A and B are shown apart, each in its own frame.
Chain A
Amino acid sequence: MESNEYGAAQALHDLDEGRAAAARRVVTPWWYHPLLGATIFVMVAGLSRGSTGLLVGLALVAQGLLFVLYRRLTGMWVNTFHIPGLKRTTVLTILFAYVLLAAGALLEHRVGVPYSLVVVGAGLAVAYVVYWRWIEQRLVQLWRA
C-alpha cells in the first residue's frame, strides 16, 4: 500500500510537471499576435470596395507563415476548441467575429457606407490581440493549477 501511495503521488506530480512544461511554452513573444492581428486587418480591409484580391492573398500567405513560425517558437500546436473550459469562449468569439464581418460587409457593399470593412478589420485585429493575450494567460493558469 505504501508503494501505491508513493507511486500515485509521484505520478500525479509528474503529470503536473508535464502540464507546467506546456504552460512555459505556450506564451509567444510580444510581437507574434500583433503581427497576426495586422494580417487580419489587411485581409478584412482587403475586402473593402476598391481593393484588389492581392491584399487578401498576401495576408493569407503571411498567416500561413506565422502559423509555421508559431510551431517553431513553441514546439507545439494548441487548438482552443479542444481545451476544456475554453471551447465555449472560442465558439462565441468566432461567431462574434463573423457577425461583425457580415455587418461590415453589409454596411459597405449594400448600404454604401465607405470604409466600413476597414474599421471592422481594425476592430477585429485589436480584438484578436487582446483575446489571445487572455487565452495565453488562461492556459498558463489552467496548466499550472
Chain B
Amino acid sequence: MTEPRFDAVVHAPTRLQICALLGAVDSVEFGTVRDELAISDSVLSKHVRVLEEAGYVTVKKATVASRQRTWLSLNRAGRTALEGHVLELRRLLAATGTMSG
C-alpha cells in the first residue's frame, strides 16, 4: 500500500501533467506528449531528463520505417511516486477543506 508522500520532482506542473498522461497507459510517444501538453520539444526534453534522472521515467528509442521515435513510460518507481503524491495532494486538500469548513 502506497503512503501519501509529497514529491517535489513530480509536483512541478508540467512534470505532473507528463506523469498523469504516462501513468494512465503503458507508454506514450514523445510527440504525443508534446502535442497534448502544447509545449516545445526542448521543454519536454528538459522535464523528461529530470524525471529520468529521478528514476521515474524510462526512455526507449525505436526506429520504424527509417524514422526514429522516442517512447516514454512511467516505470514502477515513477508510478509509486505519482500514486503517493496524489494521495498526499488529496490529504492536503481534505485537511484544508476541514479547516476552512
Partner of B29, one of A8, A12, A17, A71: A71
For B64, B86, B89, B100, the residue with the greatest tally of chain A CB atoms inside 10 Å of its CB is: B89
Q: How far is the CA of A107 from the CA of B45 in the complex (A)?
A: 56
Say how far A14's CB is from chain B's closest CB, in angstroms. 5
CB contact list, B63-90 vs A, under 8 A? 64, 71, 86, 89-90
Partner of B32, one of A17, A25, A143: A25
A1 at the interface (CB under 8 A from B): yes
Interface of A is mostly: helix
Residues of B within 8 A of A49 (CB): none
B20/A18 in contact, CB under 8 A:
yes
B17/A9 in contact, CB under 8 A:
no
B19/A18 in contact, CB under 8 A:
yes
Which residue of chain B has the shortest Cβ distance to A4 in the bound complex?
A: B92
Range of interface residues on chain B?
Answer: 20 to 34
A8/B93 in contact, CB under 8 A:
yes
A12/B28 in contact, CB under 8 A:
no
B89/A11 in contact, CB under 8 A:
yes
Residues of B within 8 A of A143 (CB): 24
For B24, B35, B71, B93, the residue with the greatest tally of chain A CB atoms inside 10 Å of its CB is: B24
Residues of B within 8 A of A7 (CB): 11, 92
Q: What's the A-B contact tally at a CB cutoff of 8 Å?
A: 82
Q: How far is the CA of A21 from the CA of B24 in the complex (A)?
A: 9
Say how far B95's CB is from chain A's closest CB, in angstroms. 9
CB contact list, A75-116 vs B, under 8 A? 75-79, 82
B36 at the interface (CB under 8 A from A): yes
B58 at the interface (CB under 8 A from A): no
Instruction: Using A8-B93, A11-B16 as known contacts, say yes or no to A21 and B36 having CB atoms under 8 A apart.
Output: yes
Q: How far is the CA of A9 from the CA of B18 in the complex (A)?
A: 17
| 26 intermolecular pairs with C-beta atoms under 8 Å apart | A1-B96, A1-B99, A5-B93, A8-B90, A8-B93, A8-B96, A9-B93, A11-B13, A11-B16, A11-B89, A12-B89, A14-B13, A14-B17, A14-B20, A18-B18, A18-B19, A18-B24, A19-B20, A21-B21, A22-B24, A23-B24, A74-B32, A75-B31, A75-B32, A76-B28, A143-B24
Interface pairs A-B: 10 shortest CB-CB? A18-B20, A75-B32, A22-B24, A5-B96, A18-B21, A8-B92, A21-B36, A15-B20, A8-B89, A76-B28
